[in-house]
Chain A
Amino acid sequence: MVVGDVTTGTEVLVIGAGPGGYVAAIRAAQKGLDTTLVEKDAYGGACLNRGCIPSKALITGSGLAHEAGNAEFMGVHADPAVDMGKMVEWKDGVVDGLTSGVEKLCKANGVNLVAGTASFTGENTVRVAHGGEGQGSETLSFEHAVVATGSRPVQIPGFDFAEDHVWSSAEALDAETVPDRLGVVGGGYIGMELATTYAKLGADVTVVEMLDDILDPYEDDVKRIVRKRAEELGVEFHFGEGASEWSEAPDGGYLLHTETEAGDESTYGVDRILVAVGRQPVTDGLDPGAAGIETDDRGFVETDDRTRTAVEHIHAVGDVAGDPMLAHAASNEGIVAAEVIAGEPAALDRQAVPAAVFTDPEIGTVGMTEADAEDAGFDPVVGQMPFNASGRAMTTGHTEGFVRIVADEEAGFVLGAQIVGPEASELIAEVALAIEMGATLEDVAATVHTHPTLAEAVMEAAENARGQAIHTLNR
């Protein structure tokens, strides 16, 4: 033990105050467990500080500006000017409100908050190094622990992150000005969301993607709609190219060098380079091995269906525990971890985790695609409703996209949905509920939906799958 260490004990130690950790801590405290939450940086984790929330703020801001300037067809004429500094300031205010809210909620539920970086020193102890010089450290002993240390953007060799040239998503969300030319490495969901945002803010955006399309896992008809819209916004795509290096250009900007698999090289002139090629788990400094916790070769902590690691009283939730690496999945896992620790029969038995991409238009998916369902041994039936047949979609001016619902033909159980179009991120929630409840197409179709809303399209898609849609031709 380090001289000057103070040892205190807690029943439940949660490491990391992101959407997995703070939820686990609050639920554990609600269950009457003495709970301590250690956070080295900011409450709310990457999601609230550098991810979901700030990106959605900028997406909304940029979307509003773009929309206002492109509504002549409705008779609206405007030429909005964007004050990027102000927009970021507003975004920071939103983030502050949420993060301080998380802190207050933790306190109100009786969670002990400790600022610092935790490292395991044994199966039942961590040392917490407090931030700043001479702040010292303390040893905490625990009965149960929840590792919720999250993830950070993956760096590629030669592309170290820095505010004035190579951005990660974090820097892209804190920019004071809009670069004239933005090079985006990676056409995944983060790359596409930010490419769309900056295109709407007036940047010339070039996306470089190693694969031959954007948004790799999605079905072609989903990708096509998003890609087409991005191209309309002026985004330029280069597929089959990997970023190899960058250099300074004589004009004061930078050159982004790429290479195809065949060795063909290209160069793009840009003012900033955004690298968005994925996220990796954060376990450095944590020393999980000291507690006997195993990580896989990518650094993720392996867990079972009760979120337990190989060391049974230590759980891991959220991004650090691997896929699906989504904030809402992390929260779900955090709740399960706390309840398992409290001795309840909780388990990760979710049937489907919905996912949303906040591109233009949005994508919302949950559960299985038709192909997934076939692979899983179902006899799938599919129903679709295009938004151009939706009255409400027409009144918003956004009619691209569709709702597709996948079900088991025999029993009618809803298995999945792919929605691309306005408010797809919201619409997907209904289908997620249907899947968890074991609802059938008939249940969804016979539920009265408000008119006129986009949600009617879900009902119509369910009817279409049953061959009796009213507003589309049944296939």
Chain B
Amino acid sequence: MTIKEFKLPDVGEGVAEGELVSWLVAPGDRVEEDQPVAEVETDKALVEVPSSYDGTVEELFAEEGEMVPVGDVIISFRVDEEGDAEAGASDDADSAAASDSEPDATADEADASAGDTAPDAEPAAESEPDTPSGRTFAPPSARRLARELGVDVAAVDGSGPGGRVTEADVRAHAEGGAAASGGGSDGDAPTPRPAPTDTGSGERKSAVSKRGSADSAAGAGGDAPEPAGRETTLATPATRKVARERDVDLDDVPTDETRDGEAFVTAEAVNAYADALESPAEPTAEPEPVDAEPADAEATPEPAATAAAAASGTASTERDGDETVPYRGVRRTIGKQMERSKFTAPHVTHHDTAEVDALVEAREELKPKAEARGVKLTYMPFVMKAIVAGLKAHPYLNSELREDEEEIVLRREYNLGIAVATDAGLMVPVVDDVDEKGLFELADEVNDLAARARERKLKPDEMKGGTFTITNFGAIGGEYATPIINYPETAILGLGAIEERPVVREGADGDSEVVPAPTLPLSLSIDHRVVDGAIAAEFANTVMEQLEHPLLLLTE
């Protein structure tokens, strides 16, 4: 019998951890290869994790509801194979042969056998190429912390020399794993770029002071870290070398770690501090000094705001009876995505109301025909078609700003995201190529995606590639809202409830009169960096025209 351990596989692009929602098997159960053994909720979706082995479930290593980093062993199987002699017996044979002279043999063997068993424990496909035979270069304190936090040290990216894993790395992996991948639906969003390619750090410093002379607060202040200014600092020789190379004074590097009561600095901390010192220089790379200043000015509120939030977060204390709910998984992903959008794109929301008598009639007329074909026809496909018409007329609303590359990408495809409220939070499945699809086809697709979103059965792929998003909060109620753009898209359209509301129309006698009529309140948020309010209004007008005269949709 061989015990095979099975690690939580990479269940989706960039997913660093998942919540083990439920076990589908129990110890002692027979499983076959590819049989689902667990349901794992990642930042992006609920996925089933299949077994890699035929065998019997030996042990479960995670509780339901536990967050499990990718790469952690979650389950072990007793696999009935021929190869079980290997692991234990080879040791035994060796030491039996060496029984003359045991312990020294065994010391070396202990290492060798530690090496032997490690690859056994992990499926070959996952073995780390750069740590032969499962060796991990991390001090015992970090390894213990990893066990405490349920982190697989082998999965941690070490920041020390040669990739040595520090306690800080383990913590970062445990906490921040998802933050790094929290980008949500935009797989291609550029990560913050490293500082411009200045040659030496000395030069970079002087560059800052030169640029900053007009606006020294922005350069020197900003989010540059405070030098810690200690008297003495402990660090390993290799860390000291990093500090020299980065031109950083070790006594200035902030740290929480201590050794023997003295501040202790890791190479990772030195690098982080050096990076932070350099990052304020980044905006100054903007070509035009005139732009550079406001850019700086706009950039500062973000860290300031987050810092304030963090500060108030730590300051507030829990009272008796308060309930603490973990901020993780889908909730945190939504949060990060919203934060990113709202802090990055200056939002403007344009409101208007479409009078949709004709649309209501058109839908009523088509509904039975749709039903005959097994399709439940809502207003959504009409709105989608109207939006495509608007986007074609105003392509900047179907775009993405790539700030670092200093370019706006006008998207050729019309892939509309539909925000769906689920028990776990907001999901945005995407309907691709709306311009190429008919009303019924769209209706079908939207219904299917929405249903699967509610069941948490969407694939990560189905939430990617959107170019514009629709949020139908009116399904629950309400007229107007200020939707947050699904960054890095440029615009989002919120739909209120279609209801009869008082409208002013020309009566039979030619006078104005207030009459009840079905209306659709629209809330369009745009990224003001990309488009101005006038374009937003024009786009809204186009969409309204389509909705008010649904025959026009035929032309789409």
Residues of A within 8 A of B (CB): 154, 186-191, 209-211, 214-218, 276-279, 296-298, 302, 322-326, 329, 345-347, 349-355, 357, 363, 365-369, 372, 375-378, 408, 410-413, 415-416, 436-440, 442-443, 446-447
Contact = CB atoms under 8 A, between A and B. Distances in A.
Nearest to B148: A345
Contacts of B236: 439, 443
B154 to A, nearest CB: 11
Interface in B114-138: 114-115, 132-133, 135-138
B101 A442 contact: no
- Most chain A CB within 10 A, of B100, B106, B240, is at B100
Given A323-B106, A323-B110, A355-B106, 4 more contacts: A190-B101, A349-B140, A436-B140, A443-B237
Contacts of A189: 101-104
Contacts of B100: 186-188, 191, 209-211, 216, 276-278
Contact of A188 (B101, B139, B147, B163): B101
B221 interface: no
Nearest to A328: B107
Interface residues of B, number: 47
A188 B164 contact: no
Contacts of B113: 323
Given A378-B132, A439-B236, A218 B104 contact: yes
Nearest to B141: A437
Contacts of A369: 108
Given A279-B102, A442-B241, A365 B162 contact: no
A351 B137 CA distance: 9
Contact of A298 (B96, B97, B105, B144): B96
Contacts of A298: 92, 96
20 contacts: A188-B104, A189-B103, A211-B100, A217-B101, A277-B100, A324-B107, A345-B148, A351-B114, A352-B110, A354-B107, A365-B108, A369-B108, A375-B115, A376-B112, A377-B132, A412-B162, A437-B139, A442-B161, A442-B238, A446-B237
A377 B140 CA distance: 23
B92 A345 contact: no
B162 A351 contact: no
B133 A376 contact: yes
Contacts of B115: 372, 375-376
Contacts of B95: 322-323
What 7 pairs across the A-B complex have the smallest Cβ distances? Answer: A188-B101, A411-B162, A377-B132, A446-B237, A355-B107, A278-B99, A438-B137
B366 interface: no
A322 B100 CA distance: 15
Contact of B139 (A154, A211, A410, A436): A436
Nearest to A280: B99
A186 B237 contact: no
Nearest to A445: B237
B329 interface: no
A341 B145 CA distance: 18
A160 to B, nearest CB: 18
B509 interface: no
B101 A215 contact: yes
Contacts, number: 164
Nearest to B100: A188
Contact of B110 (A187, A191, A329, A376): A329
Contacts of B137: 411, 413, 438
Given A323-B106, A413-B137, A442-B237, A296 B92 contact: yes
A323 B91 contact: yes
B165 interface: yes
B143 interface: yes
Contact of B102 (A278, A352, A376, A410): A278
Interface in B216-254: 236-238, 240-241
A412 B238 CA distance: 11
Contact of B162 (A326, A355, A410): A410
A351 B131 CA distance: 13
Contacts of B160: 438
A365 B107 contact: yes
Interface of B: 88, 91-92, 95-115, 132-133, 135-140, 143-144, 147-148, 160-165, 236-238, 240-241
Identify whether the interface residues of B are mostly helix, strand, loop, or mixed: helix
Contact of B104 (A345, A355, A413, A415): A355
B103 A325 contact: yes
B139 A296 contact: no
A278 B114 CA distance: 22
B517 to A, nearest CB: 67
A218 B108 CA distance: 9
Contacts of A411: 137, 161-163
Contacts of B144: 345-346
A130 B180 CA distance: 63
B107 A366 contact: yes
B104 A376 contact: no
B104 A365 contact: yes
Contact of B103 (A345, A355, A372): A355
A439 B165 CA distance: 11
Contacts of B114: 351
A364 to B, nearest CB: 10
Given A154-B99, A440-B238, A323 B109 contact: yes
Interface centre among B91, B148, B236 (most CB of A within 10 A): B236
B135 A217 contact: no
Given A186-B100, A216-B100, A410-B162, A351 B135 contact: yes
Contacts of B162: 408, 410-413, 440
B106 A324 contact: yes
Nearest to A448: B237
Residue from B99, B133, B135, B138 whose CB has the most chain A CB atoms within 10 Å: B135
B112 A375 contact: yes
Nearest to A329: B110
B147 A438 contact: no
A215 B143 contact: no
B134 to A, nearest CB: 9
Nearest to B165: A438
B450 to A, nearest CB: 43
A431 B163 CA distance: 19
Contact of A447 (B110, B161, B237): B237
A413 B164 contact: yes
Contacts of A437: 139-140
Contacts of B99: 154, 188, 277-278
Contacts of B110: 323-324, 329, 352-353
A187 to B, nearest CB: 7
Contacts of A346: 144, 147
Given A278-B100, A323-B91, A376 B108 contact: no
B525 to A, nearest CB: 47
Most buried by B among A354, A355, A365, A410: A355
Contact of B106 (A326, A415, A447): A326
A324 B103 contact: yes
A446 B101 contact: no
Contact of A368 (B97, B111, B165): B111
Contacts of A367: 111
Contacts of B88: 296, 302
B403 to A, nearest CB: 37
B171 to A, nearest CB: 15
A363 B135 contact: no
A347, A353, A365, A447: most-surrounded residue (chain B CB, <10 A): A353
Contacts of A209: 100
B101 A216 contact: yes
B101 A376 contact: no
Contact of B147 (A211, A216, A326, A347): A347
Nearest to A306: B147
A389 B113 CA distance: 35
Nearest to A349: B143
Nearest to B146: A345
B111 A372 contact: yes
Contacts of A187: 100-101
